[in-house]
Structure 1
Amino acid sequence: MTIVPIRQPIDGRHRPMFIGGLWVEAASGQTFETRNPATGEIIATVPRGGRQDIERAVAAARNAFVGPWSRFKPHERQKLLLRIADLFERHWEEICTSDTTDMGLPIARARGNANRVLGMLRYYAGMATALHGETIENSLPGDIVSFTRKEPVGVVGAIIPWNAPTAASIWKIGPALATGCTVVLKPSEEAPLTPLLIAELMAEAGVPDGVVNVVTGTGAEAGAPLAEHLGVDKIVFTGSTLTGQGIVRASAGNLKRVSLELGGKSPVIVCADADLERAVPVAAMSVFANSGQICIAGSRLFVARSIHDEFVERLSVYAASLRIGNGIDPETEIGPLISQRQLERVEGYLRAGSEEGARLVTGGTRLSQGALAAGNFIAPTVFAGVSDTMRIAREEIFGPVISALPFDTLDEAVRRANDTPYGLAAGVFTRDLATAHQLSRRLQAGSVWVNTYHAIDPAVPFGGYKMSGYGREGGGEHLGEYLSTKGVFIRID
């Protein structure tokens, strides 16, 4: 189904950005291209927004926040979110196709995200009417009633990466709408088209002008001005740890609130009693899903020494069996990397692994034959003989690369798993309930999955420990990130 544009015609080869309910161009008049990573084809051009455009968007968001949007009751915000969810459901195939062509996500996987994304919208809708303060018995002299109010923090600047445009957009916009905040969204310049489609759908659903704004541009030219803007009350960011540190520094101007979901180098521990039929494909896809371009990738695979060789052999057979190609093919299981730059980065890690003495079991090459020639494809890769000090075991690769490391005791596995500056996620495979509980308690990670991976539910908080960031997305804690608490005292005697 083709969506009718809301304000002005949108050329199939050019997509304006969305500010204050209007489709607009960058103040500079500049644009940049976005390409299909599977074919190299230019899909569209978008405005190259900068500081002036951020100024316009923040002003629009502020006007909306203090204007009609501030008078929306919780049940009205709830109804709006439910309308958005229904509209997304009707346009889901279009959203999936946008993600696939813009950043390479296999369309079968994109279609499978429906429950997660629609579930988030409907979860936020349910929570919109459940936000409240509390009355407090105080110890003050006189007859004083005290209570708290939960109020929207204000204008939210949201900066998202390219590896999950739909889910990342909704993870930022959904709680803002539920709590009564307004948003300026800065998508990655590598994948800006789906967020623009989302803005169009939200306008169609009846989101008031200025409540959701999307400014396309680079991190330096648009993201940095958004992070430091004195009119922004909160920044939410998903991306690299290095950029997250820069955002924290930029936020100091007005001490704006900050939530960060940053990098990871997640461990997966496979115990000797694990069900290998289950563990092999799940451990493999903990990394190979989205071609390894996922912050929670379980790229450090610790395997009990007694089953290590068998597990690695099974893992390599599974990796070699995966179907690689253009994500628009529903049979494709592994799509391309997002860009030539990312391809070269991953190739650098493949060379480093071999140079530092790791044994390449399978993969390890760029695929450039036939239909893959113009795309950014890397074969799913498994290294064995990896030591904890190698770059492939220490640094976030963001590609389809697994490092297998044997261990002898669970204490050793936990110590080595926690020996990282990151703490986003971890996985465990065991049939023993006591082991599952013990490891889930001892692993320093914001999410621990046992006999599964990638399980993310709207009602369960998600976020990192250590250099993987702070703040939570999902659950009641997520909504709390967008609210301020006000104490009120009324003397009634």
Structure 2
Amino acid sequence: MDKTTLAYWQGNATALAIEGRAFIDGEYRPAESGRTFDSVSPIDGTVLAQVADCGEADVNAAVRAARRAFEAGVWSGLNPRQRKAKLLNWAALMREHLDELALLETLDAGKPIGDTTSVDVPGAAYCVEWFAEAIDKVGGEVVPADHHLVGLVTREPLGVVAAVVPWNFPILMASWKFGPALAAGNSVVLKPSEKSPLSAIRVAQLALEAGIPAGVFNVVPGGGEAGKLLALHRDVDCLAFTGSTNVGKLIMQYAGQSNLKRVWLELGGKSPNIVLPDCPDLDRAAKTAAGAIFYNMGEMCTAGSRLLVHRDIKDVFLDKLVDAARGYIPGNPLDPKTSMGAIVDQLQLDRVLGYIEAGRAEAKLLHGGSRVQQESGGFYIEPTVFDVSQHDAKIAREEIFGPVLSVITFDSIDEAVKIANDSDYGLAAAVWTANLTTAHEVARRLRAGTVWVNCYDEGGDMNFPFGGYRQSGNGRDKSLHALEKYTELKSTLVRLR
């Protein structure tokens, strides 16, 4: 059957066997308490599966398995080429099961199948491949020391790494954690979001089939309790988190209350996208600005949710922007033609609609603003654009995590930079200009972990570190910098005489 049809994916969805148990020490297990929660599809509100709601006993079992595997050296003790081979096997299995994993992502999170098959699952496999290929090429240092000494600096795995990941890119964001953590020789306990746990549960079995030993990679689905237990656990050496800034602050507190475990945080964003009057291509800039906020239903930490437009080009640019926004039509995520899927659940739907109502009171609605397709039973919101007169308006300051764009007018470059930097966050930013000097100077002044010039959300490879300034977190995902953060540095000094 043709994969470009809705019928193909609906048929596969009907035949899909969904696993909802935790994966601990190489096997699927129900929660010790017997508790479960419903995995509800945002496509139509149907229950996909009963998922294990892991508690203290399950978290302890997963951490024990991870510690035992680490101490036994079944993974940490392998030479880099051996780990590389098994990780490449795992990535190959992800690609072999691409349709299945993509379908789980789409059903569970409401993401368009065209995106999960082309971005999410291939991206996760690529991430594992990238770090697998890196680990037998990264060495230590021989330090210049007194002649009677040999000084070595080496990196060793931390031990047990817990990864707590979000629901907007379930398998991709998880791979950004478990890829480098496993490559470095650690054991991993992954806690996927309770809103989208299914792909993580399935990929754990593929890890075992790829030759990654039992106990090295464990998955404990559950709610906030499971995440808190991992953050407080005294036998977890590192916790890597992607999610909201508020939860990130709690995780840092829990680490301080327990064993001062390493904590790496990739948190919220309210990213500015600045369009200067000498923008080289207004049509492309407008289409890109729409994609920057409406791709993945706006459920992106890097979403270009603040569009700063120079007054001289504002009217012309907004006409092009609204026209581009009309191309994002919420539809059935199982249809490959759909460009905009469903909001992840009722709670997030209500949150986004609440911000839209607040926006109606403090800004001018230019496009959208309504829930659509309620008859489907799913959670859909049309792309929404507000013209905001005050840049400190609620919708222009707080992270909405939905398809809601605030357009802000400025009159000078200095004003644009000031507005852009006037935020609690600093994850990403962009500037559009034909002047090379202006591009570099503005990029230097923007307080953000990633700055795009004449584009947005480019650079899908693993070579660029990803993370933010200020309350957007600490540490970086992707690149060799991510590999480093899952290791300890050791200095060894050998006296020769």
In the superposition, the TM-score normalised over structure 1's length comes to 0.95
Mapped partners of 1:317, 1:309: distance in 2: 13
Counterpart of 2:381, as a letter, is: I
Specify which of 443, 468, 472 is matched with residue 446 of structure 2.
443
1:428-472 Cα deviation digits (max 9, x unpaired): 122221121111111000011112222232111110100000001
Mapped partners of 1:369, 1:457: distance in 2: 37
Specify which of 291, 297, 300 is matched with residue 291 of structure 1.
297
> Are 1:153 and 1:234, in contact at CA under 8 Å, matched by a contact in 2?
yes
Counterpart of 1:107, as a letter, is: I
Mapped partners of 2:477, 2:37: distance in 1: 31
* 1:45 alignment partner in structure 2: 50
> Are 1:131 and 1:150, in contact at CA under 8 Å, matched by a contact in 2?
no
Specify which of 247, 250, 253 is matched with residue 246 of structure 1.
250
Specify which of 461, 464, 471 is matched with residue 467 of structure 1.
471
* 2:288 alignment partner in structure 1: 282
* 1:129 is the counterpart of 2:133: no
Counterpart of 1:322, as a letter, is: Y
Classify the secondary structure of the residue corresponding to 1:472.
coil
Within a 5 Å distance, the mapping from 1:336-415 to structure 2 comes to 336-356=342-362, 358-368=363-373, 370=375, 373-415=376-418
* 1:5 alignment partner in structure 2: none
Classify the secondary structure of the residue corresponding to 1:301.
strand
Within a 5 Å distance, the mapping from 1:94-173 to structure 2 comes to 94-113=100-119, 115-139=122-146, 143-173=148-178
Aligned-pair identity in percent equals 45
> Are 1:128 and 1:179, in contact at CA under 8 Å, matched by a contact in 2?
yes
> Are 1:37 and 1:338, in contact at CA under 8 Å, matched by a contact in 2?
yes
1:113-164 Cα deviation digits (max 9, x unpaired): 155333212210111112321111224xx71211111100110010001000
Q: CA deviation at 1:20?
A: 0.4
Classify the secondary structure of the residue corresponding to 2:457.
coil
Mapped partners of 2:41, 2:414: distance in 1: 46
Mapped partners of 1:201, 1:257: distance in 2: 28
> Are 2:374 and 2:380, in contact at CA under 8 Å, matched by a contact in 1?
no
* 1:84 is the counterpart of 2:95: no
Counterpart of 1:402, as a letter, is: L
* 1:328 is the counterpart of 2:331: no
1:385-432 Cα deviation digits (max 9, x unpaired): 431121000000001000011111111100110000100001112222
* 1:229 alignment partner in structure 2: 233
> Are 1:267 and 1:426, in contact at CA under 8 Å, matched by a contact in 2?
yes
Mapped partners of 2:402, 2:411: distance in 1: 28
> Are 1:359 and 1:383, in contact at CA under 8 Å, matched by a contact in 2?
yes
* 1:312 is the counterpart of 2:315: no
Mapped partners of 2:65, 2:412: distance in 1: 58
Against the structure 1 CA distance between its residues 377 and 76, is the aligned structure 2 distance closer, same or farther, given a 3 Å change threshold?
Answer: same
Classify the secondary structure of the residue corresponding to 2:270.
coil
1:312-360 Cα deviation digits (max 9, x unpaired): 121112212323111110010111101111111111111111112x110
Against the structure 1 CA distance between its residues 13 and 486, is the aligned structure 2 distance closer, same or farther, given a 3 Å change threshold?
Answer: closer
> Are 1:12 and 1:44, in contact at CA under 8 Å, matched by a contact in 2?
no
* 1:4 alignment partner in structure 2: none
Mapped partners of 2:332, 2:477: distance in 1: 31
Classify the secondary structure of the residue corresponding to 2:268.
coil
In the superposition, the TM-score normalised over structure 2's length comes to 0.94
1:55-107 Cα deviation digits (max 9, x unpaired): 00000000111112232110001111111121111111111111100001111
* 1:478 alignment partner in structure 2: 482
* 1:36 is the counterpart of 2:44: no
What 5-or-longer segments of structure 2 have no aligned partner? 1-15
Counterpart of 2:325, as a letter, is: A
Classify the secondary structure of the residue corresponding to 1:118.
helix
Mapped partners of 1:386, 1:445: distance in 2: 24
Mapped partners of 1:438, 1:87: distance in 2: 45
Mapped partners of 1:385, 1:69: distance in 2: 54
Deviating 4+ runs (over 2 angstroms): 11-14, 114-119
Aligned residue pairs total: 477
Classify the secondary structure of the residue corresponding to 2:462.
coil
